[in-house]
Amino acid sequence: MDFLDKILGKKKKPSLKAKCPITKEPIDEGFGFMLTTSQVIASKQYWDMVMTEPETMSYTVMHFKKEPSGTQMRSLIFEKYSSIEKPWMISDSCINLFDSIDKKSARENAKKWWANEGNFDPENSGKALDALDPQTYKSWKEYAVLEAGRSRVVLH
């Protein structure tokens, strides 16, 4: 049938795919947890992980050695993640980084996303700066830029 479909110009609808932005692992249809950017950035565990990944660890070490360029890069990293507008489809293996969220609601939002073929954004989606009050945003930015990863850095 594929051959005839190609000749007749019938196209199959591409299947919806999701991939965890943290681990890059594929998420099977009907699974995962959908979080808004403001929910993602409001996690100390998430920032401790991000700021101590192999790609960012050098900036973290520089920051704690009081080198301004390290702090500046950490600020840019925060801005990059906090300004993501689309909701995040988080895998089961990463959801425990976000202990302050309602997992049941996040799972339901993921199911709505799957059911609507990827056309669903939970309430308060969008950039964190737009979804959070300024003080809450500022406090999460301060943690991410100034404190995240401190316990994992050994200074000599």
* Beta bridge partner(s), residue 19: 26
Residue 29 pLDDT class (50, 70, 90 cuts): very high
- Domain layout of the chain by residue ranges: 28-150
Q: Reduce the DSSP state of residue 139 to 3 states and report it.
A: helix
- Whole-model pTM: value is 0.88
Calpha distance 149→75 (Å, rounded): 14
Structure tokens at 76: 């840019």
The tens digit of pLDDT for each residue in 47-103 reads: 999 999 999 999 999 999 999 999 999 999 999 999 999 999 999 999 999 999 999
Residue 33: DSSP 8-state = E
For 35, phi then psi, to 5°, come to -120, 150
Calpha distance 27→143 (Å, rounded): 30
**Percent of the chain topping pLDDT 90:** 87
pLDDT at 8: 62
b/e 123-133 (16+ beta carbons within 10 angstroms → b) = eebbbbbebbe
